[in-house]
Amino acid sequence: MNWDQIQGQWKQVSGKVQQEWGKLTNDDVAVVDGNRDRLAGRIQERYGLAKEDAERQIDDWLQRH
């Protein structure tokens, strides 16, 4: 999957996002609304990661889905 597909199917994909990053709340997922930068920011915030690490996790997740 690429990010354009994720954005277009955000409601369906958001459950998988919460499975991957369990610390994200429903509100976090709603705020992200398919925006990759917002997702990276929420992952950074919840997990205390650097931006590069959050981006790397997103890239790894995309490759698996």
pLDDT above 90 (res 65): no
> What tens digit of pLDDT does each residue of 17-59 get?
999 999 999 999 999 999 999 999 999 999 999 999 999 999 9
pLDDT above 80 (res 1): no
| Nearest CA among 52, 17, 48 for reference residue 31 | 17
* Distances in whole angstroms, Cα of residue 9 to Cα of each of 1, 18, 39: 11, 14, 15
| Residue whose token pair is 């997740």 | 61
Residue ranges covered by each domain of the chain: 3-64
Q: Using a cut of 0.95, tell me whether the model's pTM lies above it.
A: no
Superfamily of domain 3-64: YjbJ (1.10.1470.10)
pLDDT at 2: 86
Q: Indicate the Cα dihedral angle 39, 44, 37, 34, nearest 10°.
A: 0
